[in-house]
Homo-oligomer: A and B are copies of this chain.
Amino acid sequence: MKINYPDGRIFHNKPSQTSLDVDTTNAKKKMIFGDRGMTLEEEINESNKYYRSHDIAVIYKKPTPIQIVKVDYPKRSKAVIREAYFRQASTTDYNGVYNGYYVDFEAKETKNKNIFPLKNFHQHQIDHLKKCQKQGGICFVIIKYVALKRYFVMPADNIFAHWDAQKHDGAKSIQLADVVDCSIEIKADYNPTLPYIKAVQQLIESGKEKK
């Protein structure tokens, strides 16, 4: 059973659908026991759970920001939000701490096999990553090519270069070869599902070499 967790994307994809019921209990079960067909978000959340429970890193996905308009307070029952809207996040989706380093990243899936479209990013995400990097944070993007089942940790600097270049060269996407070239490839595994902290460690070490 496929469960769609509502966020901005699903709203855009399914504008004609009404009253989508989200069974979060089942969604949770799927996250815990599923090891096939996981979304990148689920894979990262599972990995973060592993990293936290093993004292390797403390990294969380931030909750989706919601603009609340109306709340009901029924007697002898908990508050019910009756009108609210999805807001655009001003930051990236994930942040936390690993071995003294601030870690900040965005996760993006693509169904394309040869390119990664830059429209996957918003200006505010790029700006946020730039600001965090300036403060000494370890910043990157995890890209999943769904059809290829390949995962890459792409350093933020390389994203910035492509993002800023599109104003001049007009390129609306990054070629797979370029992603392979500048990123650290990681393989889906078991415990953690996606061992991306290994790549973070490599980024830290390569940063030290540069200095």
| Contact A134 to B55, CB < 8 A, known contacts A14-B73, A63-B66 | yes
Contacting pair B60 A63 (CB below 8 A): no
Return the CB mask of A32-45 against B: 1 if under 8 Å, else 0: 00000000000000
A158 CB → nearest B CB, Å: 20
> What is the bound-complex CA distance between A202 and B20, given in angstroms?
50
Return the CB mask of A133-165 against B: 1 if under 8 Å, else 0: 011110000000000000000000000000000
| Contact A16 to B100, CB < 8 A, known contacts A6-B68, A131-B52 | no
| A window 5-57: CB within 8 A of B | 6, 11, 14-22, 24, 52, 55, 57
Contact of A16 among B71, B73, B128 (CB under 8 A): B73
A21 CB → nearest B CB, Å: 6
Contacting pair B21 A82 (CB below 8 A): no
Interface of A is mostly: mixed
Contacting pair A81 B80 (CB below 8 A): no
The count of residues in chain A whose C-beta lies closer than 8 Å to any C-beta of chain B is 61
Q: Is A177 an interface residue (CB 8 A)?
A: no
A17 CB → nearest B CB, Å: 5
A-B contact pairs, 25 of them (CB 8 A): A6-B68, A11-B73, A14-B73, A19-B70, A24-B68, A55-B134, A55-B135, A57-B135, A58-B131, A58-B137, A63-B63, A63-B66, A78-B85, A78-B86, A79-B86, A82-B82, A95-B95, A95-B96, A97-B102, A97-B132, A100-B101, A100-B102, A100-B137, A102-B102, A102-B103
